[in-house]
Amino acid sequence: MNEKALNEARDLIAGFLKNRRLELGLTQDALAERIGVARKTINAMEGGKYWLGMKQYLLVCEALHLFPAIAEMESDTDIAKSLRKNWKPNPKAMSIENAIELTAKRHNRDGQHN
């Protein structure tokens, strides 16, 4: 994934979290206190200038009464459709099945030479 897509995703998430905080009538100070960070961290997060760690993300979701959901790329939900526009996964170099098959072929080949 390229940096532009990552930054767009971060801005999208940051805006959503800020709007949710405002819907609940929470100040940045109140949210910061609930999750144990400084207000400046909340400000940076909402401004799209700070990447939350997984623990912080889960605490923010809990504090804002959100499910930390993940949508499959094949999903037909609005969020999945929106993400698909700019968020392209890196292609797999090899599937697990292909790796197992290649390993077995190498083992057989090496075994035949011994």
- Model confidence pLDDT, tens digit, residues 70-100: 767 677 877 777 767 765 555 555 566 776 7
Predicted confidence band of residue 113 (pLDDT cuts 50, 70, 90): very low
Instruction: Please give the radius of gyration of the chain, using alpha carbons only, rounded to the nearest integer.
Output: 21
Domain 3-113 has CATH 1.10.260.40: yes
From 38-42, 72-76, 79-83, 103-107, the region with the lowest mean pLDDT: 79-83
Q: What percent of the chain has pLDDT over 70?
A: 78
**Contact call for residues 66 and 31 (beta carbons, < 8 A):** no
DSSP 7-23: HHHHHHHHHHHHHHHHH
Quote the pTM value.
0.61
Each domain of the chain, given as residue ranges in start order, spans: 3-113
Compute the mean pLDDT over every residue in the chain, rounded to the nearest whole number: 82
